[in-house]
Structure 1
C-alpha cells in the first residue's frame, strides 16, 4: 500500500479544527489531533503555567518533535489518507508571529515533512472561545491566521478555505475536496 496522503487542517486559534478532526474520527477516518494542548497540560502539571509564553523555543521544540512523529506515523498507516490537526509549518508561523528566533532545523523540517493538501479554517468570531490552554484573544488569533497563511503560501501550499457552516457541512466540504491519488 502507498503511503497515506496527509490532509492538513490549519487556521488560527478557535477556528474549529479540533471539532472537525473529532467528527472525522467518529466517522472512522484516521486522524491525528493537535498536540499543543497535551504539551501545555503536561507543563502545567510540572509547574509551568504557559510554556509557550515562558519558554517558547522549548515549547516549539517539543511541538516539532511531536509533529514529526505524527508525520512519520502517518506514513506507516494502512490507510489511503490521514487528517491532521495543525502541521509542522504552524510552529514557525507562531514563532514568526511572536518575533522569536529559532534554529534552521525548524525551517528544514518545513521543507522535509510535507503535506498533500491543506485546508484553511477561517477566523469565525461566532465560534471563537479562549480557555485554559488557548491564551490568545480574538485580535491575536486574526494576526496568527495571517501569519499561518503567509507561512504556508510561501512554502508553496495551495490553501483550500473551508466555508463557515455546521460541523457536518464543513466535514462534507473537506471530504468532497480531498484529492485521493
Structure 2
C-alpha cells in the first residue's frame, strides 16, 4: 500500500503547524515544516534572515528538504502522510519576492506531486509574528495569493479548510479524506 500524500498549505500564521501537530497526536504520520529549522541554523551562523539576504540559497535548502520528506514517505505503509507545506511553496515564495530561480524548481513541482491539498486561509485572530515569522498579516494575505496561484498552475485542486478549533479543522480534513 502506498501512502496518500496529504498536503496542508497556507500563508504564514494560518495554523498549519498546529494542525500538523494535532494530526500527529492523533497517530498520523506527519512531516513538519522545515523553514524554521533552516532559518534557525542560519541565525546560529549570524545570518538573521537567510530568506531575505540569500533567498535563492534559502529556497534551495527548502527544496532539498521537502524533496527528502517526499522521498522519506515512499515506502511507508500508512494510509495517509501529512505534510506541512509542499514543494510548490518554494516556487510561490520566490515568485512573491520576484527573485529568479532555476528550472530545477519548476521540474520538482511537476515531478513530486501530492494527492490531496488542503488550504488554510489567513486568520487575523490567530496570526502572530515571531523571530522566524517576520511577515505582517497583510504580507501573509499577499503570500496566500501567490500560493494559490502556484498550486493551481501545477494542477492542484485546493480544498479550503474552514476556521474553527484545531480539532474541528483536523476533523474536517479527516472526514473529507474518508468521503473521497
Cα deviation 1:81-122 (Å, max 9, x = unaligned): 100000000000000000000000000000000000000001
Q: Alpha-carbon deviation of 1:56? A: 0.2
User: Size of the alignment, in residue pairs?
Assistant: 180
Q: Residues 179 and 102 of structure 1: is their aligned pair in 2 closer, same or farther, counting only changes over 3 Å? A: farther
C-alpha separation between the residues in 2 aligned to 1:94 and 1:60?
8
C-alpha separation between the residues in 2 aligned to 1:43 and 1:109?
24
C-alpha separation between the residues in 2 aligned to 1:84 and 1:91?
14
Alignment RMSD (CA, Å): 1.1
After superposition, where does 1:1-181 map in structure 2 within 5 Å? 2-178=1-177
Q: Alpha-carbon deviation of 1:179? A: 5.3
Q: Residues 179 and 57 of structure 1: is their aligned pair in 2 closer, same or farther, counting only changes over 3 Å? A: farther
C-alpha separation between the residues in 1 aligned to 2:148 and 2:168?
23
C-alpha separation between the residues in 2 aligned to 1:115 and 1:178?
13
**Ranges in structure 2 where 5+ consecutive residues have no aligned partner:** none
Secondary structure at the counterpart of residue 49 of structure 1: coil
C-alpha separation between the residues in 2 aligned to 1:175 and 1:138?
28
**Ranges in structure 1 where 5+ consecutive residues have no aligned partner:** none
Moved runs in structure 1, 4+ residues, more than 6 A?
none
TM-score (norm 1): 0.97
TM-score (norm 2): 0.98
C-alpha separation between the residues in 2 aligned to 1:179 and 1:40?
36
